[in-house]
């Protein structure tokens, strides 16, 4: 029976978190599986993957070079952790399933190849031969292939599915590019025009193709057009038509194709997820079901259900659990059938905020003082709208003071005044509102405020102490500045319209996280390849900055735009520089200058590397990012509550436990205070309850789509 | 009765073309209204608006300066045409409706203000005083306010409705910009860093705001970051976070907001259009209806209906009309009720291609020769797939030859060979296929081919004659080159995947036209203001191109990036240069260099002009353009036929008149030929008919949305 409960709980939690693992159902395997899903090994795994990825900082070409014999053992440790994890996984699921799953094969191959590479590299380096750590390219693929990388795999799968369509549009785009280049060659090649560097203009076909490809990124507009435009007004028409077709229309078509395909395949994936979820819940039901009478429908009793929920989500409050039961067991029968049971995973996913209106701790400690006239007045003042406005004004004045010169002692003193004011605000609020409610998980801005103010206080104190000791650390001062400015951000929360936009942005957060992993995988691979191709070719030295004759340590770069614009630090000499350079290439501006710098020191064919990066990152991934954001916003605009949410809300209202939405919008803490204060007076039925519920997330739909 | 017919025809054609004019229903007014809607006055109106807009080329500051006493009479003529048009309109609709309509008031005000401005300007210029032709800003507004400018007004209305939402996002964006600038000031202001021009880096708050605004456009990336990045790796994080938030997230949010609002309001407008269309058709029905018996439903007889259709669309074929009737009169009763009648406007809008399979003219003239063995073989060869492949290969070889040096006599001869081959292709096709079918309206590529080849032939002959006379005109040669390259485009049509994409792009055509008008209105206004602000400040002279000490005729520009990059021709000295400059500013790259050039020669506050342009064109209009293209593509992907189209198609199939879709896709002319050839053999019922129908546009939905 206990084992049954374990199994059912595993099914429900798999359904809740959309895990799709076909584990063995033997009691032993289930226990192993529970361990596998425990947060500790999962976090450990991510820590070791991070360590593995960060090793690139210390490996040659390194930012901080560390001996090979220091990084190798760390990498071996990481590899062994990954091995333990995959062995654990192999024990959890049936053997045939394990070997059929490509992601497991991938991990094993990655581990073996890495080991092989380490041996070869170690041996070659020990005998002072030239060696390449080629297996580093495989490292980020671990992020994709571990069981927890579900969302990332989904994203990659969507991209792969969209590729054929993108490919055909790309071919057409290339055709257009080649046609325009041919036309440009014929129109401008024989006119003897020169660029501002006195080089012949548009005489080599392949160079024209490259120049016009760059024009699609707009990076060399209007420079590429100026020689022709200077020759005749009519030639501008050629470039305008080109930009209209290839930059505006084709790039929009790319966005359309990527967006459309991505949406289509994501929808299909979500549909499959929903099906799998239902399937798992049905299995859980099959494990727990009992027949109440002969011939009756199988059902699950409330006791059994309670036990299950406690096991799946131990931190859920009894009140919340009872609420969920009352939604499931509509007719108050004491047992539920299959249909009602299957909803459980979704019910658990609806975030219900349980608001306990507890009396303020001071009320218990010093009831007479806390309820005295002045104390009541103070609390009312803090809860007044004027208090918020007053502090918004203070923030604005503070902004002006920050803008002024902080070395002026008057301004420095003013800073202390502001700090004191902010601290006072937090203390007053803690006096007026119940502290645990003030710091509840959903009060983002209270947390934000407090952390910023406390950190600013600490940093300012350290800074002052240091300056008394006549030594000011720039780092601390920088942190103080950043914190001071961040404090101003709070003003946004006071304006309702802004709050809506910000909330949507915060909701995109998890999506951006998945997206961030995606981009890190791609960046890492390109950084590793780039480092092998270009390491040491461009050198940066701080002494060069002012030197007009600088050549970034490579005579080939003398008098090039790359050296002239002081881009020497944009190089592939270590992994950090590489990442920053890749960000610059993603932004695309001055793309041709950066690219030409690297082709100048190597070979023109190095362009392939950069064009490939542009296609993968800018044409595909950035478009997917835009599609992500668009989709998230459209969902916010057209949000519909699921049936389940509606019925849960109805239940909450029936039970008269709802917190009026408007009240909450105005000031969550306020509403609680009032209901707390009026606890004895019995003004309204609603306020008699010490427990109130509110549904947190309005757009479940989005969450299932993207997280 | 005739007058009734007139009135009904007007209602139907108004419904068909979505005209929303509440004209007087007196017979006289209806006749005036018919005249008002005639294509001749409409085309004339557009011609005069174009002339009015193009006057800017000749007015001071002019590209080709013409005396004021030459442009003024032309403008007066334009004004009088517009006045006649508006008076005509006033006669058509009831007086109270006329004065309530803001667009009429707008036109009258524009006309009066222009007249006033002309008088003042003429007087001031005659007395040699400084004068500004400020009313030129109003000219493009005529395009919006004339009755024919419906789509443009709809686009502007959508933008206006989206403005509040855009405004709030913009405010939040500005807040973020100001915060980051403040942080940048504090972080970098005191470090004594310098830019590559040796100027202090990030010390003035307003300059920082501007620099970071430019960074949102990505135009100064990575230059703006380099000094800080050279100082420390950590500072790169500041810029990366900034770009992520302000460039990627905020710009995507702008797109989302613009797209969402635009879509929403456009949908509402389309809904209203549909309602108005129904309303007009009901009125037309009310005019024509007759009661067949006492108590029976009112109806319209076939004779009456035929007369109406002939009047509304005189060019419709009898067969096509009969087809439409048979769709409307489902039960073959000889009359139709209101419901069936109301469909008429939509039915007329469905493009049905009537394919008449006529015998080839040569068959009539020389039947024995045309049907002889060799002739048959030749025709079969031309119709074979190999013929298409052969010519695709010829085109590819031609592409290589074009890339080679055309001064080589061998290449020049080869060009004649290719021309001959292309001519031969067209002649062969005309021999094999019926000429009128070959040049039917829907055979885009046949028209394209023929026009390109014939023009190339003419241009090449002119060019050769000129070169024999030892004088080669570059213009003619340029045209020859362009035509030669355009000929290669044909290859795209042979690949099915490409054809689908191209067809979608062609369908976006009308949308882009509306969009083009929108952008011309905005560009014209900015060009006029820009010309008044900056005319003559920057001078271009061809002699300056090679001069390294150039200052664009203004000492203030000496040693600036503007002069160094040879941007002197990017100025506001005439309307053509202004438009090209505005295109460059739309592309955004080097935006800061261009902008700084103009602030250097005037005042820093001139930045407002450029920032305003950026907000209006790049943030709002370009995003709408992208939304346009996205929407058009999504519709193509998820196209559903309307009920009406389905019933029309069913009817065509019932009557066995359909052309099999596959056959058509393969080769429209081919299919017709076959059915023509087999005319006597009676192989299948379908092929017995000499008339065949095909529904042209698959996506009516899109057309109503955007045209």
Return the pLDDT at A667.
39
Closest CB from A196, A498, A634 relative to B565: A196
Stated pTM of the model = 0.86
Query: A259: which chain B residues are within 8 Å (Cβ-Cβ)?
Result: 630
Closest CB from B230, B498, B567 relative to A172: B498
The answer to whether A249 contacts B629, with C-beta atoms less than 8 Å apart, is yes
Nearest CA in chain A to B485: A183
Q: How far apart are CA A403 and CA A418, in angstroms?
A: 14
CB pairs under 8 A between A and B: 203
Label residue B654 by pLDDT band (50, 70, 90).
low
What residues contact residue A237 under an 8 Å CB cut-off, 6+ apart? none
Query: B583: which chain A residues are within 8 Å (Cβ-Cβ)?
Result: 236, 240, 243
Rg of chain A on CA atoms, in Å: 31
- What is residue B355's three-state secondary structure? strand
Return the pLDDT at B192.
85
Which tokens in the block code for residue A327?
């939604």
Q: What Å distances lie between residue B221 and A154, A214, A677, CA to CA?
A: 33, 15, 56
Best to test chain B binding among A62, A195, A245, A501 (most B CBs inside 10 Å): A501
> Considering only CA atoms, which of B84, B148, B89 is closest in space to residue B111?
B84
Question: What kind and span of H or E run contains B356?
Answer: strand B352-356
B566 CA: distance to closest CA in chain A (Å): 7
Return the pLDDT at B696.
57
Burial class (CB in 10 A: 0-12, 13-18, 19+), B460: buried
The answer to whether B230 contacts A540, with C-beta atoms less than 8 Å apart, is yes
Query: B184: which chain A residues are within 8 Å (Cβ-Cβ)?
Result: none
Closest CB from B169, B196, B589 relative to A501: B169
What are the residue ranges in chain A where pLDDT is below 70? 1, 353-357, 469-473, 546, 638-644, 654-707
- Any idea which residue has 């109270």 for tokens? B96
- What is residue A408's three-state secondary structure? coil
Query: B481: which chain A residues are within 8 Å (Cβ-Cβ)?
Result: 183, 186-187
Query: B578: which chain A residues are within 8 Å (Cβ-Cβ)?
Result: none
Q: How far apart are CA B166 and CA B427, in angstroms?
A: 57
pLDDT at residue B375 tops 70: yes
Query: A518: which chain B residues are within 8 Å (Cβ-Cβ)?
Result: none
Query: A220: which chain B residues are within 8 Å (Cβ-Cβ)?
Result: 589
Return the pLDDT at A615.
93
What is the pLDDT averaged over residues B505-511? 79
The answer to whether A485 contacts B622, with C-beta atoms less than 8 Å apart, is no
Closest CB from B218, B256, B634 relative to A633: B256
Query: A484: which chain B residues are within 8 Å (Cβ-Cβ)?
Result: 186
Query: B508: which chain A residues are within 8 Å (Cβ-Cβ)?
Result: 249
Query: B411: which chain A residues are within 8 Å (Cβ-Cβ)?
Result: none
**Residues forming beta bridges with residue A694, ordered by sequence position:** A353
pLDDT at residue B73 tops 80: yes
What is the pLDDT averaged over residues B68-86? 92
The answer to whether B569 contacts A226, with C-beta atoms less than 8 Å apart, is yes
Closest CB from B257, B501, B587 relative to A243: B587
DSSP A660: P
Return the pLDDT at B681.
35
The dihedral built from the CA positions of residue A480, A484, A485 and A489, taken in this order, carries a sign that is positive
B662 CA: distance to closest CA in chain A (Å): 22
The answer to whether A182 contacts B497, with C-beta atoms less than 8 Å apart, is no
Phi, psi of A405 (to 5 degrees): -75, 120
According to the per-residue pLDDT averaged within each range, which of A286-295, B197-206, B461-470 is highest? Answer: B197-206
The residue ranges of DSSP E strands in A257-311, in sequence order, are: 290-291, 298-301
Dihedral angle over CA of A212, A218, A219, A220, nearest 10: 50
Identify whether the C-beta of residue A113 lies closer than 8 Å to the C-beta of residue A53.
Answer: no
- CA A513-A517-A520 angle, 5° bins: 130
Closest CB from B243, B489, B630 relative to A256: B630
> Considering only CA atoms, which of B464, B482, B519 is closest in space to residue A235?
B482
Query: A576: which chain B residues are within 8 Å (Cβ-Cβ)?
Result: 233
Closest CB from A175, A205, A566 relative to B403: A205
> Considering only CA atoms, which of A524, A551, A521 is closest in space to residue A539?
A551
Return the pLDDT at A665.
39
Return the pLDDT at B80.
95
Return the pLDDT at A683.
37
- CA A267-A270-A272 angle, 5° bins: 115
Residue B236: how many other CB atoms lie within 10 Å: 23
**Residues forming beta bridges with residue B335, ordered by sequence position:** B301
B53 CA: distance to closest CA in chain A (Å): 19
- What is residue A695's three-state secondary structure? strand
- Any idea which residue has 């060696």 for tokens? A131
This model of the complex carries an ipTM of 0.87
Return the pLDDT at B161.
85
Q: How far apart are CA A651 and CA A329, in angstroms?
A: 11
Closest CB from B172, B482, B492 relative to A501: B172
Nearest CA in chain B to A256: B630
The answer to whether A187 contacts B482, with C-beta atoms less than 8 Å apart, is yes
Nearest CA in chain A to B562: A223
Query: A183: which chain B residues are within 8 Å (Cβ-Cβ)?
Result: 481-482, 485
Return the pLDDT at B182.
92
pLDDT by residue (tens digit) across B300-318?
888 888 888 888 888 888 8
Label residue B356 by pLDDT band (50, 70, 90).
low
The answer to whether B545 contacts A230, with C-beta atoms less than 8 Å apart, is yes
A351 CA: distance to closest CA in chain B (Å): 26
Closest CB from B169, B248, B406 relative to A625: B248
The answer to whether B630 contacts A566, with C-beta atoms less than 8 Å apart, is no
What is the pLDDT averaged over residues B475-496? 83
Buried b (16+ CB within 10 A) or exposed e, B615-646: eebbbbbbbbbbbbbbbbbebbeeeebeeebe
- What is residue A648's three-state secondary structure? helix
What is the pLDDT averaged over residues B516-539? 92
Cis peptide before A144 (omega within 30 of 0): no
- Any idea which residue has 């992208």 for tokens? B626
DSSP B471: -
Query: B519: which chain A residues are within 8 Å (Cβ-Cβ)?
Result: none
Q: How far apart are CA A437 and CA B606, in angstroms?
A: 52
Return the pLDDT at B262.
77
B100 CA: distance to closest CA in chain A (Å): 35
DSSP A329: S
Nearest CA in chain B to A627: B252
Closest CB from B540, B577, B633 relative to A253: B633
B403 CA: distance to closest CA in chain A (Å): 7
A443 CA: distance to closest CA in chain B (Å): 21
The answer to whether A260 contacts B633, with C-beta atoms less than 8 Å apart, is yes
A638 CA: distance to closest CA in chain B (Å): 10
pLDDT at residue B208 tops 90: yes
Nearest CA in chain B to A562: B223
- What is residue A693's three-state secondary structure? strand
Query: B221: which chain A residues are within 8 Å (Cβ-Cβ)?
Result: 584, 587, 589-590
Query: A511: which chain B residues are within 8 Å (Cβ-Cβ)?
Result: none
B431 CA: distance to closest CA in chain A (Å): 31
Closest CB from A233, A492, A584 relative to B576: A233
Identify whether the C-beta of residue B12 lies closer than 8 Å to the C-beta of residue B284.
Answer: yes
Identify whether the C-beta of residue B524 lies closer than 8 Å to the C-beta of residue B53.
Answer: yes
Label residue B656 by pLDDT band (50, 70, 90).
low
pLDDT at residue B8 tops 80: yes
The answer to whether B478 contacts A247, with C-beta atoms less than 8 Å apart, is no
pLDDT by residue (tens digit) across B657-682?
555 444 443 333 333 333 333 333 33
Which tokens in the block code for residue A172?
């057409």
pLDDT by residue (tens digit) across B212-256?
999 998 888 888 999 899 888 889 999 999 999 998 889 888 998
Label residue B191 by pLDDT band (50, 70, 90).
confident
Query: A226: which chain B residues are within 8 Å (Cβ-Cβ)?
Result: 565-567, 569
Query: A172: which chain B residues are within 8 Å (Cβ-Cβ)?
Result: 492, 498, 501-502
């Amino acid at each position: 029976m206990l084992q049954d409960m374990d199994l059912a709980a595993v099914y429900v939690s798999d359904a809740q978190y959309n895990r799709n693992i076909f584990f063995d159902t033997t009691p032993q395997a289930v226990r192993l599986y529970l361990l596998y899903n425990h947060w500790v090994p999962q976090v450990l795994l991510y820590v070791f993957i991070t360590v593995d990825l960060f090793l690139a900082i210390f490996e040659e070409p390194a930012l901080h070079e560390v001996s090979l014999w220091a990084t190798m053992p760390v990498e071996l440790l990481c590899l062994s952790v990954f091995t333990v994890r995959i062995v654990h996984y192999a024990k959890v699921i049936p053997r045939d399933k394990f070997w059929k799953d490509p992601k497991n094969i991938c991990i094993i191959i990655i581990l073996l190849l890495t080991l092989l590479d380490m041996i070869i590299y170690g041996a070659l380096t020990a005998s002072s031969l030239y060696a390449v750590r080629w297996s580093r390219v495989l490292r980020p693929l671990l992020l994709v292939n571990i069981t927890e990388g579900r969302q990332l795999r989904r994203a990659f799968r969507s991209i792969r599915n969209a590729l054929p369509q993108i490919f055909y549009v790309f071919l057409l785009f290339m055709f257009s590019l080649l046609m325009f280049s041919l036309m440009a060659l014929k129109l401008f090649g024989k006119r003897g025009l020169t660029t501002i560097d006195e080089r012949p203009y548009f005489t080599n076909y392949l160079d024209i193709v490259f120049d016009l490809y760059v024009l699609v990124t707009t990076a060399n507009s209007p420079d590429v057009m100026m020689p022709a435009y200077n020759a005749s007004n009519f030639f501008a028409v050629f470039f305008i038509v080109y930009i209209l077709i290839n930059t505006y229309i084709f790039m929009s078509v790319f966005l359309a194709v990527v967006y459309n395909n991505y949406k289509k395949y994501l929808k299909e994936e979500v549909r499959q997820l929903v099906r799998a979820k239902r399937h798992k819940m049905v299995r859980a039901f099959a494990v727990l079901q009992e027949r109440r009478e002969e011939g009756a429908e199988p059902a699950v009793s409330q006791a059994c259900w309670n036990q299950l929920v406690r096991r799946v989500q131990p931190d859920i409050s009894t009140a919340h659990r009872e609420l969920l039961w009352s939604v499931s067991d509509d007719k108050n029968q004491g047992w539920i059938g299959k249909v009602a049971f299957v909803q459980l995973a979704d019910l658990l996913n609806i975030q219900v905020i349980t608001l306990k209106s507890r009396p303020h701790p001071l009320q218990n400690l010093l009831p007479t003082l806390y309820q005295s006239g002045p104390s009541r007045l103070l609390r009312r003042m803090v809860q007044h709208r004027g208090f918020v406005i007053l502090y918004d004004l203070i923030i604005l004045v503070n902004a002006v003071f920050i803008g002024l010169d902080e070395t002026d002692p008057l301004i420095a003193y003013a800073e202390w005044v502001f700090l004191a004011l902010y601290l006072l605000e937090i203390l007053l609020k803690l006096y007026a509102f119940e502290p645990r409610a003030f710091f509840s998980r959903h009060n983002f801005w209270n947390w934000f405020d407090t952390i910023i103010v406390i950190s600013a206080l600490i940093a300012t104190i350290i800074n002052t102490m240091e300056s008394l000791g006549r030594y000011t650390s720039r780092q601390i001062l920088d942190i103080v500045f950043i914190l001071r400015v961040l404090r101003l951000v709070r003003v946004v929360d006071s304006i309702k319209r802004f709050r809506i936009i910000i909330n949507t942005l915060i909701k995109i957060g998890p999506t951006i996280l998945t997206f961030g992993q995606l981009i890190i995988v791609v960046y890492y691979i390109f950084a590793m390849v780039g480092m092998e191709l270009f390491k040491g070719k461009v050198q940066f030295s701080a002494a060069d900055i002012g030197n007009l004759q600088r050549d970034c340590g490579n005579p080939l770069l003398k008098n090039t735009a790359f050296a002239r614009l002081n881009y020497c630090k944009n190089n592939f000499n270590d992994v950090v520089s590489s990442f920053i350079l890749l960000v610059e290439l993603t932004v695309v501006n001055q793309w041709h200058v950066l690219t030409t710098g690297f082709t100048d020191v190597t070979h023109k064919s190095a362009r392939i590397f950069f064009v490939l990066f542009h296609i993968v990152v800018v044409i595909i991934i950035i478009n997917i990012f835009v599609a992500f954001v668009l989709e998230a916003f459209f969902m916010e605009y057209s949000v519909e509550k699921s049936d389940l949410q509606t019925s849960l809300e109805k239940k909450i209202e029936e039970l008269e436990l709802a917190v009026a939405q408007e009240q909450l919008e105005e000031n969550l803490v306020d509403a609680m205070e009032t209901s707390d204060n009026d606890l004895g007076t019995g003004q309204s039925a609603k306020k008699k309850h010490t427990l109130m519920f509110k549904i947190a997330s309005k757009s479940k739909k989005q969450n299932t789509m993207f997280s």
